[in-house]
Amino acid sequence: MSAIGRDAIWEAKFAIKSIKLNTIGSHVTLFTDTPPTDNHQFDEIRTVQPKPDYITNFTYNQITKISALITKSQEQDQFTYVDNDVYVAHDPTIVFNNDFNIGVTMDVWRQQDQTPLLSGVIFVRRNTQFYEKWLKLYKLIKIEPDQYSFRQLLNQEKNVKVLPPEFNAQTGTGLQLSGKMYIAHCHYASTIRNPAIHAVFINQTTDCRIWTPWDNKMVSWVYNPETFEQLTKTHTLQPEHQESSDQFMKET
C-alpha cells in the first residue's frame, strides 16, 4: 500500500483496519512520505523521499505505488497490492489458488475501452521486470491516471488473470456484482459512510445484483431455468443504518 500526504494516510488507516479484521495472517507494508505518529496497525512502514515541488501528490503517489511494487516483487514471491482507499470485506488471497503472474480486475465502467483493467488492486507474483517497465512508461507518457500505461503493458503479458469486479468493487458508483464482494474500493474516509455496514448490506445476498449508491438501493435477481421466471428483489439501506465513517474507526 502507498499513501502520499495526510489525507491519504487517514484513508490508509481505514484500509489497514479492514485488512486486519477480515484477513488471516496479513503482513501489511505502507510506503509513505508522511509516517503516522499515532497508533496504527501497519506491520511495516517505509518512508519515501519527500514529494518534489514540481509534481502533484497524485502523481507522486502513482510513482511511489509502482516503485513499491518493484521493491516488494524483489522481496516476496507473491503478495497483494491495494490502494489506500479500499475496504477489505473478505480475505481475497484465495485468488492465489490460480496460476498467473498478474491478477487484475475488470472495470465495469469501461466506456468502450479495449483493455478495461484496473490497477488499484493487483495480485502479484514475482515479476519485477514488468513493474520496472511500468514505471518507465508512466514517467515517459505522463498520462494520468496510471491505468493507461498499466494497460498498455498488460497487453504484452501472457499469464494475466482477469478477475471479476467483486475483487475490486467500485462502490462509489453504480455497480453490478455476482457472488461475494471481497474488496470495496471507495473513499470511505472522506464520506459519511461506514464501510463495514455497506459491505454487510451489499453482501447480504450473493445473487446477481446492482448497487446504486446515490439512492442506497440494491436490486437482486434470481433466474429459474426450469420455469424461465426471473425473481427480483429491492433492498434499501435505511438512513438509521448508515453510521458515520468515524464510527467505524471507533469500533474495536
**CATH code at 28?**
3.90.550.10
Statement to judge: residues 153 and 222 lie in one domain: no
Q: Is residue 43 part of a domain?
A: yes
Same domain, 143 and 49: yes
Would strands 44-47 and 208-212 be described as parallel, antiparallel, or unpaired? unpaired
Using the CB atoms, write b or e for 28-50: b if 16+ within 10 Å. bbbbbbbebeeebebeeeeebee
| Domain boundary pick from 125, 151, 167 | 167
Among residues 167, 185, 212, which one ends one of the domains?
167
Q: Quote the CA–CA distance of 187 and 15 in Å, as a whole number.
A: 10
Residue 53 lies in a domain: yes
Instruction: Report whether pLDDT(220) > 70.
Output: yes
Task: Please state the rounded mean pLDDT for residues 163-168.
Answer: 93
Q: What pLDDT sits at residue 196?
A: 81
Q: Residue 142, by phi and psi: left (phi above 0), alpha (psi -120 to 50) or beta? A: left
Looking at the domain assignment, is residue 109 inside a domain? yes
User: Do both 163 and 233 map to the same domain?
Assistant: no
Are 14 and 132 contained in the same domain?
yes
Residue 225 has pLDDT above 90, yes or no: no
| pTM for the whole structure | 0.87
- Sign of the CA dihedral with 244 first, then 174, 86, and 179 last: positive
Residue 223: per-residue pLDDT: 75
Q: Which of 47, 175, 182 is closest to 123 using CA atoms? A: 182
Whether 131 and 224 map to the same domain: the answer is no
In a domain, 173, yes or no: no
pLDDT tier for residue 134 given thresholds of 50, 70 and 90 = very high
Is residue 201 located within the same domain as residue 110? no
Q: How do residues 39-70 score in pLDDT, each as one tens digit?
A: 788 999 999 988 888 888 888 889 999 999 99
Provide the residue type at 75 as one letter: E
On the question of pLDDT at 26 being above 80, the answer is yes
Q: Domain count of the chain?
A: 2
In a domain, 131, yes or no: yes
**Same-domain status, 33 and 138:** yes
Nearest to 195 by CA among 67, 19, 57, 4: 19
pLDDT at 250: 59
Co-location of 63 and 162 in the same domain? yes
Residue 235 covered by a domain: yes
Domain housing 43? 2-167
Q: Within this chain, do residues 210 and 143 fall inside the same structural domain, yes or no?
A: no
Beta-bridge partner residues of 30: 45
Is the pLDDT at 150 greater than 60? The verdict is yes
- Residue 233 CA to residue 64 CA, distance in Å, equals 44
Please give the pLDDT value at position 79.
Answer: 94
Domain membership of residue 147 (yes or no) is yes
Across all residues in the chain, what is the average pLDDT? 85
Lowest model confidence (mean pLDDT) among 121-130, 203-212, 240-249: 240-249
